[in-house]
Amino acid sequence: DGGITQSPKYLFRKEGQNVTLSCEQNLNHDAMYWYRQDPGQGLRLIYYSQIVNDFQKGDIAEGYSVSREKKESFPLTVTSAQKNPTAFYLCASSIAGGALSYEQYFGPGTRLTVT
């Protein structure tokens, strides 16, 4: 059963702690993305990676870090430097190259609450 998994579904952390959100895909997609969604807002791109061991900052990368050591995995770390980390975090993947490269498929998301 191919797809994208994110865990956990709900995550609670104290302010000042770093937290890592997982994202795994078995779709054999080259590109992976991280977004955050705030209530009443559109999705905003945090980081993306088009190939293993390479990634680029999106529009709101400050306070976040990523790694892409394996094609299947693209974990996101929310650091203590992120001023407003509470949000719904969505991971997506797509086939790289050509017009289809931007048809993105999303995981179920992780709701992070930092208090």
Partner 1 sequence: RKEVEQDPGPFNVPEGATVAFNCTYSNSASQSFFWYRQDCRKEPKLLMSVYSSGNEDGRFTAQLNRASQYISLLIRDSKLSDSATYLCVVISGGGDKIIFGKGTRLHILP
Residues that bind partner 1 (CB under 8 A): 33, 35, 40-45, 48, 56, 58, 88, 90, 99, 101-109
| Integer CA distances (angstroms), 74 to 14, 15, 39, in order | 23, 23, 24
Nearer to partner 1, 19 or 34 (CB): 34
For 73, which DSSP code? B
Interacting residues of 40 by C-beta distance below 8 A, sequence separation 6+: none
| Integer CA distances (angstroms), 113 to 17, 34, 41, 84, in order | 12, 17, 17, 10
Nearer to partner 1, 6 or 82 (CB): 6
Nearer to partner 1, 62 or 81 (CB): 62
For 27, which DSSP code? S
Nearest approach, Cβ of residue 80 and partner 1 (Å): 27
| Integer CA distances (angstroms), 48 to 12, 28, 110, in order | 24, 16, 17
Nearest approach, Cβ of residue 102 and partner 1 (Å): 5
Nearest approach, Cβ of residue 42 and partner 1 (Å): 4
Nearest approach, Cβ of residue 18 and partner 1 (Å): 24
Nearer to partner 1, 16 or 98 (CB): 98
